[in-house]
């Protein structure tokens, strides 16, 4: 292994880049926050003397990718399964608990540092990265689903894949947003993990010290999901997305509305998705009928706003804006809501359709009080929320 890992001191060769890319994808599937910066640092690590011994390489990569004790324990299992072919079944179970599971792959070094093919890597539905055709098919499936309008999903399997990807997306967004808040240029305590990672490029000398500060109050998300008949084709995917948001964002609240408002945070905090949906269906009687957005937002302001809204709250409204109530009532409710929170984001699944015009009465009444009006018709549009939330 060490010969293969250290095959090129001036930079990893094509085979090693493919291996590292597969390993990073495996970590992402297990809900590790593995971004471009970490991947670039990992590429430098595997061409350094640290790669001469597997145990040293494991510890170096763990310092890059693991952000908690639980992640460190899972990292050891995944590393051994991927690079050394040890405990693959155990790693698969660990990844299932942290992300969406699939099959396993390990890379070994054959004679001359060549690549030994094995089963597929751990992957999310639609994101398989097997070699040859499997890799192309998995990537194309993911790309197709990420760009496909939720209303055009066909078949139970395709819907299940979209649901799983929506939950995974929410977990990854939370991990990235949390990490953006940790590192600081100045502070009271040295951030050893970030300092070590930055020192790799300088031969291990900790020249640039990074620090940690007490984090500011975390961003709170309050989601209001329109569950009326006109939103029926989108509600299931949004619900799975919000289920993962409720699991990963401690500071979050969720509500369904149609002709009345239902507080559903407790249901969405059920760890098992199906149990969460079963409880949700009991709590949200009347889903699929008409909608009175203005009345529901007025009730939210009167009953819930004082408890859940503060200066670091972003309110996400998932709705197409079709309202059977009076526009004036909706405008008054939006004005009050805007006064109480930091940002209001209105996500309309119909925005992605060709020739869309915001002509619904509800949208026209609400638009003056909305900070961001954005599409929410596919997975890519949901992913586009991350950079906006990161700036809040």
pLDDT digits (tens, 9 = 90+) for 345-355: 999 999 888 88
Sequence ranges of the domains in the chain: 2-147, 182-212, 220-390
Sequence-separated (6 or more) residues with CB below 8 Å from residue 179: 33, 67
Q: What is the mean pLDDT of residues 178-190?
A: 57
Whole-number pLDDT of residue 52: 81
pLDDT 10s digits, 108-133: 333 333 333 332 332 333 333 333 34
DSSP result, 38-84: HHHHHHHHTTSGGGGSHHHHHHHHHHHH--SHHHHHHHHHHHIIIII
What mean pLDDT comes out for the span 385-389? 84
pLDDT value at position 183?
52
Q: Is the pLDDT of residue 148 over 80?
A: yes
When mean pLDDT is compared over 86-90, 104-108, 263-267, 329-333, the highest value belongs to 329-333
Tell me the pTM: 0.58
Q: How far is CA 180 from CA 169, 173, 183, 242, 319, in A?
A: 17, 11, 7, 21, 29
Q: What is the CATH code of the structural domain delimited by 220-390? A: 3.40.50.410
**Is pLDDT above 50 for 45?**
yes
Looking at per-residue pLDDT, the higher value among 248 and 7 belongs to 248
- The C-alpha angle with vertex 244 and arms to 242 and 248, in degrees rounded to 5, equals 115
User: pLDDT value at position 217?
Assistant: 65
The answer to whether 212 and 191 are in contact (CB under 8 A) is yes
Residue 105, pLDDT score? 30
Which pair of tokens denotes residue 202? 């300088």
Q: How far is CA 375 from CA 150, 268, 320, 338, 356, in A?
A: 12, 23, 10, 20, 11
Q: Nearest CA to 9 among 45, 47, 43? A: 47
Q: Is the pLDDT reported for residue 104 higher than 70?
A: no
Give how far Cα 342 sits from Cα of 47, 220, 223, 265, Å.
46, 10, 14, 21
């Amino acid at each position: 292994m060490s010969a293969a890992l250290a095959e090129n001191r001036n930079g990893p060769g094509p085979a090693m880049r493919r291996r590292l890319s597969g390993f990073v994808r495996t970590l992402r599937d297990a809900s590790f926050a593995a971004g471009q910066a970490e991947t670039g640092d990992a590429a430098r690590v595997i061409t350094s003397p640290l790669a001469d011994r597997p145990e040293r390489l494991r510890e170096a990569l763990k310092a890059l990718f693991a952000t908690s004790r639980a992640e460190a324990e899972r990292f050891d299992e995944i590393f051994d399964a991927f690079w050394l072919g040890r405990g693959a079944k155990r790693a698969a179970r660990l990844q299932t608990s942290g992300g969406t599971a699939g099959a396993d792959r390990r890379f070994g070094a054959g004679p001359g540092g060549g690549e030994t093919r094995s089963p597929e890597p751990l992957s999310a539905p639609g994101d398989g990265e097997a070699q040859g055709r499997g890799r192309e098919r998995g990537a194309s499936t993911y790309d197709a689903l990420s760009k496909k309008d939720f209303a055009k999903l066909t078949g139970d399997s395709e819907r299940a894949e979209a649901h799983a990807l929506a939950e995974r997306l929410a977990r990854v967004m939370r991990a990235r947003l949390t990490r953006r808040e940790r590192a600081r240029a100045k502070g009271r305590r040295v951030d050893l993990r970030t300092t070590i990672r930055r020192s790799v490029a300088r031969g291990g000398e900790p020249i640039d010290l990074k620090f940690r500060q007490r984090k500011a109050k975390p961003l709170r998300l309050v989601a209001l999901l329109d569950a009326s008949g006109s939103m029926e084709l989108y509600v299931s995917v949004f619900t799975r997305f919000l289920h993962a948001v409720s699991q990963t964002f401690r500071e979050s609240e969720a509500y369904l509305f149609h002709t009345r408002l239902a507080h559903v945070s407790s249901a969405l905090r059920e760890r098992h998705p199906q149990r969460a949906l079963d409880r949700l269906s009991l709590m949200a009687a009347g889903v699929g009928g008409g909608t009175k957005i203005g009345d529901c937002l007025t009730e939210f302001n009167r009953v819930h706003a004082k408890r859940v809204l503060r200066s670091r709250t972003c309110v996400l409204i998932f709705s197409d804006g079709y309202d059977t109530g009076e526009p004036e009532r909706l405008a008054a409710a939006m004005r009050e809501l805007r006064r109480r929170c930091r940002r209001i984001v209105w996500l309309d699944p119909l925005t992605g359709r060709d020739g869309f015009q915001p002509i619904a009465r509800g949208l026209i009444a609400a638009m003056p009080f909305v900070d961001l009006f954005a599409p929410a018709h596919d997975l890519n549009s949901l992913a586009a929320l991350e950079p906006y939330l990161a700036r809040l």
